[in-house]
Chain A
Amino acid sequence: MTRKHLSTWGAVIFIAAIPIVIAANSPLLQWRDPVYIAGGFAGIIAMALLLFQPLLAAGRLPGLSLAVARRVHRWLGAALILSVFAHIGGLWITSPPDVVDALLFRSPTPFAIWGVIAMWALIATAILALARKRFRQNLRYWRAAHSALAIVIVSTTAAHAVMIEGAMGTMSKAALSGALCVALLVALNDLRVWKRTRPGRGITTD
């Protein structure tokens, strides 16, 4: 680990962790029961984990070989699914009709609808990941589909979080949302997802 390695890791962990720390100190928590708090934090943690996904996919986190990074990327994907289900489950127990409204796209709050779109895009990504072997002859299409879903997940997650008046701090939430978008664009650029030709960096057919 060089000093540059440490500073990259430090910056990413800082941007991901600060919103969690600030939310943990939110005055709103004193008026919420444990299930509601846990449901909220599952969502915040999912958003923080999401920051690592494009960086792992593109091999941008120093000290990890691309093979290791991709393996962590898959496990983190599974953790994202679990976190999002815990998020929805916790909110469901707290207020079932609000969650039903969101899932049926009839919520009065637009951010709930963005969150549900992000959930479906995440589920679609998980199915796509599990079906990767079927795309062996056409990995380009698999990659394009995964990239498109990643764009949907990141943009709707950012919209979902930013529009909510909740436990997360406004500044740290905006910073994490911005970092998510930057990380995604960096990864898409590194992986040359829009190119037909095989790029040099970061692409293997594993």
Chain B
Amino acid sequence: MTKLHMNRRTLIASSGAVLATGVAGGLAPARAQSLAPTQSMRGGSNNYRPGAPIVERIGGGGFWMTGTVRRAGDGAPLSGQRIQIWAHTTEGHERDWHSHGATLTDANGVFRLEMPQIVPAFGQPHGHLAYDSEEFETVFLRPVMSSARDTTLEAHFVLQPA
């Protein structure tokens, strides 16, 4: 379910890399696919509150934020990674402390956190996620729900070692 974002910059960079290795070492079959790190989204860090606690669920629940965390390059799932989540929900604004919480990825690099229903705010029903620990580069995501009636939203991280 992960989208591979290919733009002109990554295309030029990866073609350059292929040319360089091809010329230098001969085009050997790649042992591991090179997975590009996820870029932060515009507005992803808005109303971020550093250090939100790890919680069983945010508020009363009823809505699920899910996703995966993998390592850039080989795509290996990363377990025990802390992902912070916040949104404008039926229980509060984005800026409210009680709208924020964090969870950890499992052995397969999957995270799932129950939270109150996200409702449209500032024109779109959207959530915010952050990877903000020290081991990898910080990434802020701002996924938008395809329908305000959805009761789940997913977001995926590919992290670059810091």
Contacts and interface: CB of A to CB of B under 8 A. Distances in A.
A98 B43 CA distance: 7
A166 B120 CA distance: 6
Given A95-B47, A97-B43, A101-B42, A111 B123 contact: yes
A108 interface: yes
Given A31-B88, A94-B93, A109-B123, A165 B43 contact: no
Q: Taking chain B's interface residues, is the majority helix, strand, or loop, or is none over half, making it mixed? A: loop
B124 A109 contact: yes
B46 interface: yes
B119 interface: yes
Given A31-B89, A95-B95, A166-B120, A101 B125 contact: no
Most chain A Cβ neighbours within 10 Å, of B41, B43, B122:
B122
Contacts, number: 56
Given A31-B119, A33-B93, A165-B148, A95 B124 contact: no
A71 interface: no
Nearest to A35: B93
A112 interface: yes
Interface string B116-134: 0001111111000000000
A165 B124 contact: yes
A163 interface: yes
A110 to B, nearest CB: 10
Interface string A29-55: 001110010000000000000000000
Contacts of A101: 42-43, 46
A32 B121 CA distance: 9
A108 B93 CA distance: 19
A107 B123 CA distance: 12
Nearest to A115: B123
B95 to A, nearest CB: 6
Contacts of A36: 93
A106 interface: yes
Contacts of B39: none
Interface in A68-126: 91, 94-95, 97-98, 101, 106-109, 111-112
B142 A108 contact: yes
Interface centre among A91, A106, A165, A166 (most CB of B within 10 A): A165
Given A31-B88, A108-B142, A95 B94 contact: yes
A6 interface: no
Given A109-B123, A164-B123, A165-B125, A95 B93 contact: yes
Contacts of B46: 95, 97-98, 101
A28 interface: yes
Contacts of B94: 95
Contacts of B91: 31
Contacts of B122: 91, 95, 98, 109, 112
A39 to B, nearest CB: 10
B123 A108 contact: no
A101 B47 CA distance: 12
6 contacts: A28-B120, A36-B93, A91-B122, A101-B42, A101-B46, A109-B124
Interface of A: 28, 31-33, 36, 91, 94-95, 97-98, 101, 106-109, 111-112, 163-166
